[in-house]
Every structure is written in C-alpha cells, then in structure tokens.
C-alpha cells in the first residue's frame, strides 16, 4: 500500500482507480486532489484509523447471539453445535429444519442471513451438505459476508481480514470435532486492523452500486 505525507493533484491523477492508499498521521490532502480521489474512487486510509463509517461495517467482536439453521442433511451437526454454543453462554436462535424431509439450502441460508442483516443476531451459521451453496445464497443478502470454512485457518482469516458475519459448514467435509474448532475460531477472532476494515467500505460500495443499477 502506497504511503503519503501529502497527496497532491498530481499524485491523485496517477493512482489506479479503486486503489487504497495510506496517509500518514498529520498528513494533508490538497483540495484539488480530494476531488480527483473521489472521482477515481480511491480510498484514503489515515494512519491508525479506518475511514469514516467503515468501522460500523466490521462484525461484532463480542458475539452474544447466533442464528443457526441447516437443511435436512445437517440436523445432527446443527443440534450438536446448538448445545455447544449454549454451553458458551450464547443466545441461540434455532431456525430449523426439524425433520428429515428435504429442504432447499437457499431457504435456510436466507433465513439466517436475514436475521443477521436485520440485527436479530450478532452472527449466523448455516449447515448443508458442502456449505458452498449456503454461502452463495447468504451472500445475496445485502450486508452479509458469508464464508464456507473447512479449517480453522480459513475461519480466522475470514473474520480478521474479511469481516465475515455468516459461517457455512458442510456435513460431508468436516467432522463434529472439526466443526466445533472452526466455530470457536470464527466466533473469537475479531476484526481490528483499519486497513482491513477499510476494504469493507469498498465491498459495501460495490453492493450499493449493484443494488441501484438497472
């Protein structure tokens, strides 16, 4: 990431569109440069802080409530995780399904994603056969950043670097023990780095642009 003590109009003109740059503490942006930066959609991260409003996009670090759902293939794993989450003193909103009758993963993924997007839960977990379809479906909900994780490393990176607020798991890809470890890592990893949080503002800008197009 390029670092500046001062950003002039000349500097702004040669930056790539959509680029993110770092402005040193006490640094300055000239008025003409500010206009150019806006036109080129350049994000300026001030050293030691996230851009205005971006911090609100970061997932809650102190998770107290979780919405969870599964399709018919994930009932057993979901039941285990509900007990596990409640043993950690978390409030759990169990959104089903409760029978072995086949259900479609987009429906259960949307139920969890909606709960998180509307502030009814701090985080969400969705379970299906592979976790992939549920992640795709959940990510169609505005404000949701869902990840399909098969390892603790993916879970940690997805929170620390990408600010995910929904986790999806595949019953065919993880054991119950692995699922517990993944969920624990995901729930306890905060997003604090301003440079990572700044990128959430860019994700939101893409989301907003696409929601108003057409």
pLDDT at residue 72 in the model:
96
pLDDT at residue 5 in the model:
92
CATH code for 65-188?
3.40.1400.10
Does pTM top 0.95 for this prediction? no
Q: Which of 28, 72, 118, 161 is catalytic?
A: 161
What is each CA distance from 126 to 108, 144, 169, 214, in whole angstroms? 7, 13, 6, 31
Tens of pLDDT, residues 42-59: 878 777 665 556 778 889
Assess whether 72 carries a catalytic annotation.
Answer: no
pLDDT along the chain (214 residues), means of 10: 91 89 89 92 75 76 96 97 98 96 97 97 98 98 97 98 97 98 97 86 84 60
Distance CA 68, CA 127 (A): 8
Residue span(s) of the chain under CATH 3.40.1400.10 come to 65-188
Nearest to 200 by CA among 166, 159, 162: 162
Q: What is the DSSP letter of 119?
A: T
Are 22 and 152 spatial neighbours (Cβ–Cβ below 8 Å)?
A: no
Distance CA 106, CA 120 (A): 19
Please state the length of the chain. 214
């Amino acid at each position: 990431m390029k670092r500046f003590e001062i950003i002039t109009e000349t500097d702004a003109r040669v930056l790539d569109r959509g680029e993110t740059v770092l402005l040193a503490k006490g640094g300055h942006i000239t008025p003409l440069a500010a206009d150019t930066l806006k036109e080129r959609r350049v994000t300026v991260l001030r050293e030691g802080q996230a851009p205005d409003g971006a911090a609100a996009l970061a997932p809650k670090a102190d998770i107290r409530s979780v919405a969870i759902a599964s399709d018919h293939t994930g009932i057993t794993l979901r039941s285990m995780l509900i007990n596990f989450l409640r043993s950690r003193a978390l409030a759990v909103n169990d959104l089903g399904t409760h029978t072995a009758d086949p259900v479609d993963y987009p429906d259960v993924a949307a139920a969890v994603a909606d709960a998180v997007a509307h502030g009814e839960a701090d985080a969400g977990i969705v379970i299906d056969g592979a976790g992939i379809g549920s992640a795709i479906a959940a990510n169609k909900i505005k404000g949701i950043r869902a990840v399909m994780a098969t390892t603790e490393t993916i879970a940690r990176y997805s929170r620390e670097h990408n600010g995910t607020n929904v986790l999806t798991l595949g019953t065919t890809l993880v054991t119950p023990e692995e699922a517990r470890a993944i969920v624990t890592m995901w729930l306890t990893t905060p997003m604090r780095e301003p440079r990572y949080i700044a990128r959430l503002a860019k994700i939101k800008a893409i989301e907003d642009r696409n929601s108003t197009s057409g």
